[in-house]
Every structure is written in C-alpha cells, then in structure tokens.
C-alpha cells in the first residue's frame, strides 16, 4: 500500500524538477530543508494520488484499455531512452568509456568499499516489488491458473532483460561525476535530459514519464486494492465487513477508498520530514522482500514436494531456485535495512528496521494472544492448501469469471468439491 504513495512522490519529483531546468527561483530554495518546498512536493503528490485513484473508479471494462495504454507508454519511454537519448548525448557531452561503465566505482555512502558496492543493489531491488501483480487480480481473470502465472513469469523476464539494458544505457549516457553531482533537482534525470536533449526535449520526456508513472500508480492500486479486499474478506482487518464489500459491478470500491485514505495520510509525513516519509515507504517495501525469501525458505523446508499440479512446476530445478531466492532476497533485505550513509547520525539513520521490528513484535504478540479463529481459521488454511494442490481438468479451465472465482477464491467452500 505504501508503493502507491511512494510512486506519487516520485511523480511529483519529475514535475517540480522542471523548475531547476528553467532556472525558476523558488522561495526558500530547492531542498528538503525548506518547508515551502516540502509543501509543494506534498501538494503535487496528493494531486497525483487523486488522479490515480480516480482511474480506479472507472467502469471495469475500461481497465483493459488502461493496461494496454500503460504498456504502450512504457515502451515509448523505453524506446525514446534507447534511441533519442544516445543521439542527444553523442551531440553534447559525449558517452562514458566502457572502462568507466564496467570498472569504475564511486563511494558516495561513506561505507566500507565492499558494502558500498553491495548497496548498489538498492537501485535494482525496486523492480522486485510488483512483478506478482497479476496474481493479486487472479480472481477476476479467466483461466487464472495459467494466465496469472504467465503474467508473473513474463513480468520477471521483461523486467530483467529490459532493466539490464536500460541500466547499461544510462551508465554510458551519464555525464562525468562532477557534472552529475552538480545536478540539484529532486529528479536529476530531468536535468540530464535537458543536458542531452535541450529544454524542450526535457519537457517532453518529463511528460511521458509523468503520464507513465500516474498510470503505473493506478495499476499498482488495482493490484493492491484486490489484496486489501482479499484480506478484509477473511475478516482480518478492522472494518472488514465494509472493506470486503463489492459494488454492483463486483469491484472492491471500498478497498480502493482505503488505498486513497492510507496513501493520503502517508504523503502527509512529507510535511514534517522527508526522512520520515522515506522511512515509512522503505519499511513498506522491506516486508515484501522478506516475504518472498520466507516463502522460498518454507517451500524448501516444509513443502518441498507439494503443489505439483501447478502449470509452472519447476520439477528438479525447484530446490536450486528456492535456495537462490533465499540468498538473493536475504542480500536485498540486508541492503534495505542498512544505513545508506556513514557514519550514521540521527538524520541519516534508516528507521525502516525500527518500524519493521516494532510491527513484527506486535505481530508476534497478537499471534500469541489472539485466537486463530478470530483472524485466520485453520479450516480456511486447509481449504486453501487443498485447492492449491487440487487438479482442475483442462476442459474446466476456460470457464467464465464467476466459475473461476468459485474454483479459485480461497474464501469459497465449493472449490474443494469442484
């Protein structure tokens, strides 16, 4: 749920960075130590969140078009970066050498050399969050046991290949470090576009990025609201009876509203301190990384030979993949809870570990004192496990959405019989 708020703040940074490109003097200066500047970031972020939420209130039949437009816009952005940006760089400040790209390091964290290099995983770790979005909307997907799994797999492959290509591209197109670190905009890429493509080109790329981020946020809200709805449907959340309702179009509109309230409140922490906001958003992503690693660990140790009816069963390769997932997610988790600057002070301390630790302690206390029939009954778990390992004949996998929802919804008793 914090991802949507973080995306809105990222979008706001793109927009307000144009002030630096056009050399507009902002009262009090451009910087997080200026309350007027933080207020501007907050106001723009709240506006972006409102637009992204409004898209989720549109009729469901529009979602397919929104998804396609989003993907098309991302491809346009990617192609512009691959084609237009290098042309602009070649005509202005020039490319970095291959030696710089593949061998040069820079310690801007103050950490020991080895850990400074490891912290670079923070740049790519964000792509790990969200690739499973198609799983969150599986109950609204026809032939979900195939389509949702294919969506997750294709998302991982596309992100890995295109992300690696994009990273190399930006490394070659980055100006020398003195110039790079002199860029003082909240989103330095906007100024980098201005250096390579001119002010007009920078505006165009900013518009493309902004529209893409807004649509990305709306899609993230679609997935996250379904997850909130599913948890509320099982009676776990406060006000679950209201959050777990659907409207006449069978859409979890109330869960979307919860997403808006939660995101708007999170964005309000920008006003007193950007550090507080970053810590909250970071703390929201860390449990996801930890959960991915924990799932692999439990599959390896508790259920290594179960769920064989999956359409994407890994066979003999499953255990090596479990181990690789555990190790990599453990590494990323360590990066995410680590201080980002050394020596550590109150201003640079990463409070994400404190937030995560506190929530974990309260979770353990709740688990010990709250009866399981009050939050997650054992019969629900048993039905979920039975359905996950149940065989669905191929002729029954192409039914309508309602029949699929009956078969695959973890809250429906009929699925075990079917």
What are the pLDDT digits (tens) for 323-375? 999 999 999 999 888 888 889 887 778 888 888 888 889 989 988 888 877 77
Task: Tell me the pLDDT band of 416, cut-offs 50, 70 and 90.
Answer: very low
Give the DSSP H or E segment for 401.
helix 401-408
pLDDT value at residue 156: 87
All residues at 6 or more sequence positions from 49 whose CB lies less than 8 Å from its CB, including other chains = 4, 5, 8, 217, 260, 263, 264, 267
What is the tens place of the pLDDT at every residue in 268-307?
999 988 777 877 787 777 888 888 999 999 999 998 888 8
d(CA 280, CA 354) in angstroms, rounded, equals 10
Helix or strand or coil: residue 238?
coil
All residues at 6 or more sequence positions from 37 whose CB lies less than 8 Å from its CB, including other chains = 26, 28, 29, 30, 31
Q: What is the DSSP letter of 381?
A: H
Task: Tell me the pLDDT band of 390, cut-offs 50, 70 and 90.
Answer: low
Residue with tokens 């939050």: 375
What is the tens place of the pLDDT at every residue in 178-225?
888 888 888 888 999 999 999 999 999 999 999 999 998 998 898 889
Given a cut of 60, whether residue 310 has pLDDT beyond it is yes
Q: If you average pLDDT over residues 3-11, what whole number do you get?
A: 91
Query: Cβ-count burial of 22 within 10 angstroms (0-12 exposed, 13-18 middle, 19+ buried)?
Result: exposed
| Alpha helices, H only, 112-245 | 113-118, 121-125, 133-136, 144-173, 177-180, 188-233, 240-243
- Peptide linkage before 396 cis (omega within 30 of 0): no
Distances (CA, A) of 293 to 286, 289, 314, 324, 353: 11, 7, 17, 9, 17
d(CA 148, CA 134) in angstroms, rounded, equals 5
Distances (CA, A) of 303 to 19, 175, 385: 55, 50, 11
Burial 31-49 (b: 16+ CB within 10 A, else e): eeeeeebbebbbebbbebb
Name which of 175, 359, 226 is nearest 280 in CA terms: 359
pLDDT value at residue 410: 39
């Amino acid at each position: 749920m914090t991802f949507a708020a973080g995306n809105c703040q990222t979008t706001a940074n793109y927009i307000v960075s144009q002030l630096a490109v056009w050399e507009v003097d902002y009262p009090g200066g451009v910087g997080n130590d200026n309350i007027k500047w933080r207020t501007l970031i907050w106001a723009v972020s709240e506006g972006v969140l409102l637009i992204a939420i409004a898209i989720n209130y549109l009729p469901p039949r529009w979602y397919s078009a929104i998804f396609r437009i989003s993907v098309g816009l991302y491809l346009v952005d990617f192609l512009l970066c691959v084609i237009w940006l290098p042309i602009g760089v070649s005509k202005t400040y020039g490319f970095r050498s291959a030696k710089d790209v593949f061998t040069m390091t820079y310690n801007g964290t103050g950490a020991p050399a080895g850990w400074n290099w490891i912290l670079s995983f923070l740049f790519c770790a964000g792509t790990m969050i969200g690739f499973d979005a198609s799983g969150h909307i599986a109950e609204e997907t026809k032939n979900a046991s195939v389509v949702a799994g294919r969506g997750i797999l294709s998302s991982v492959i596309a992100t890995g290949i295109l992300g690696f290509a994009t990273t190399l591209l930006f490394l070659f197109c980055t100006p020398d470090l003195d110039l790079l670190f002199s860029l003082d905009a909240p989103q330095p890429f906007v100024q980098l576009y201005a250096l390579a493509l001119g002010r007009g080109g920078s505006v165009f790329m900013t518009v493309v990025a902004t529209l893409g981020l807004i649509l990305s946020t709306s899609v993230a809200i679609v997935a996250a609201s379904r997850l909130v709805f599913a948890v509320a449907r099982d009676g776990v959340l406060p006000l679950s009876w209201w959050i777990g309702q659907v409207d006449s179009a069978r859409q979890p509109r109330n869960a979307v509203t919860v997403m808006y309230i939660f995101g708007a409140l999170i964005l309000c922490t920008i006003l007193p301190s950007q550090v507080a906001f970053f810590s909250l958003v970071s703390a929201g992503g860390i449990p996801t990384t930890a959960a991915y690693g924990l799932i692999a660990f439990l599959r390896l140790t508790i259920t290594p030979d179960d769920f064989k009816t999956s359409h994407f069963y890994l066979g003999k390769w499953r255990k090596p993949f479990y181990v690789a997932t555990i190790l990599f997610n453990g590494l990323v988790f360590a990066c995410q809870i680590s201080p980002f600057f050394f020596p550590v002070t109150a201003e640079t301390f990463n409070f994400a570990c404190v937030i995560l630790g506190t929530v974990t302690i309260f979770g353990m206390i709740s688990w010990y004192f709250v009866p399981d029939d009050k939050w997650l009954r054992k019969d629900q778990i048993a039905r979920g496990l039975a359905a996950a390992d149940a065989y669905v004949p191929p002729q029954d996998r192409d039914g309508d959405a309602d029949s699929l929802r009956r078969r695959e919804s973890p809250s429906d008793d009929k699925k075990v019989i079917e």
